[in-house]
């Protein structure tokens, strides 16, 4: 059995009957499963654990309003980055905040401004494990990027760079995917300069390469490129 396969221990599933309850709008728990499934921090360090999955029959299209943050998400579709600025203290926010968090501004409502698409990595991590949909992309870099002179940092994936070369202070450019739906995943960052990571010991570089290789081998084995 594949280590990522879900092994059913107790099966009280009602999935084949869900329509019956969903049509009545009765969303109470109707069935459950107890499974053994993976947990861990890196793909090769997976242990198996017992989890319980409950079933609540829904028949809905999930609608969600972005409310006062709508301008930001519309901007993603247009290929523009919108942030907000406090008219009182001038602080800029990206991700946007609808009200200023500076205590002296007493939640003053902010105004929309278009932000540049250049930024700097404030912090980052190299992902060695992820939720199922992103496993084939491992190992990838997730960073917090301060765009322009924003006071907040934007969580974003960094592409087109060897993870070993990523470093705090690296200038990046925000790019928009071809097909956009108004979601944070519509954007990613790429290096805007030649990376200049801080001096690292030979041991550290070797350790990093070894760790990355383990993850890459695991991904190639489980998601062979066609
Ligand atoms: Zn303010």
| Dist. CA 182 → ligand 1 center (Å) | 27
Is it the case that residue 208 has pLDDT exceeding 90?
yes
Domain assignment present for 60? no
User: 154 alpha carbon to ligand 1 midpoint, in Å?
Assistant: 19
Structural domain count of the chain: 3
Model confidence over 158-188: pLDDT tens digits?
Answer: 999 999 999 999 999 999 999 999 999 999 9
Q: Which residues pair with 7 in a beta bridge?
A: 36
Q: Are residues 89 and 145 in the same domain?
A: no
- Does residue 219 sit within a domain? yes
Burial class (CB in 10 A: 0-12, 13-18, 19+), 160: exposed
Note whether 35 and 6 are within 8 A (CB): yes
* pLDDT recorded at residue 179: 94
> 1 lies in a domain?
no
Question: How does pLDDT run across 119-162, given as a tens digit for each residue?
Answer: 999 999 999 988 888 889 999 999 999 999 999 999 999 999 99
Domain around 141: 117-226
Q: What is the pTM of this model?
A: 0.77
Residues with CB under 5 A from ligand 1 (ion): 86, 88-89, 100, 102, 105
């Amino acid at each position: 059995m594949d280590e990522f396969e879900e092994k059913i221990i107790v099966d009280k599933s009602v999935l084949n009957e869900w329509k019956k309850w969903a049509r009545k709008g009765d969303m109470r728990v109707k069935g459950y499963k107890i499974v053994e499934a993976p947990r861990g921090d890196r793909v090769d360090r997976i242990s198996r654990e017992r989890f319980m999955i409950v079933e609540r029959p829904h028949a809905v299209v999930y609608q969600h309003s972005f409310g006062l943050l709508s301008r930001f998400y519309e901007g993603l579709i247009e290929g523009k980055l919108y942030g907000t600025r406090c008219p009182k203290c001038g602080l800029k926010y990206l991700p946007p905040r609808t009200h200023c968090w500076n205590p002296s501004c007493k939640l003053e409502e902010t105004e929309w401004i278009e932000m540049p698409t250049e930024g700097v990595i404030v912090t980052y991590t190299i992902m060695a494990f992820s939720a199922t949909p992103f496993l084939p992309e491992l190992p990838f870099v997730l960073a917090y990027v301060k765009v322009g002179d924003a006071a907040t940092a934007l969580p974003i994936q960094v592409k087109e760079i060897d993870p070993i070369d990523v470093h705090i202070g690296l200038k990046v450019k925000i790019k928009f995917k071809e097909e956009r739906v108004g979601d944070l995943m519509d954007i990613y960052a790429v290096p805007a300069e030649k990376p200049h990571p801080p001096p690292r010991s030979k041991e550290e570089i070797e350790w990093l390469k070894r760790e990355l290789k383990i993850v890459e081998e695991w991904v190639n084995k489980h998601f062979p490129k066609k």
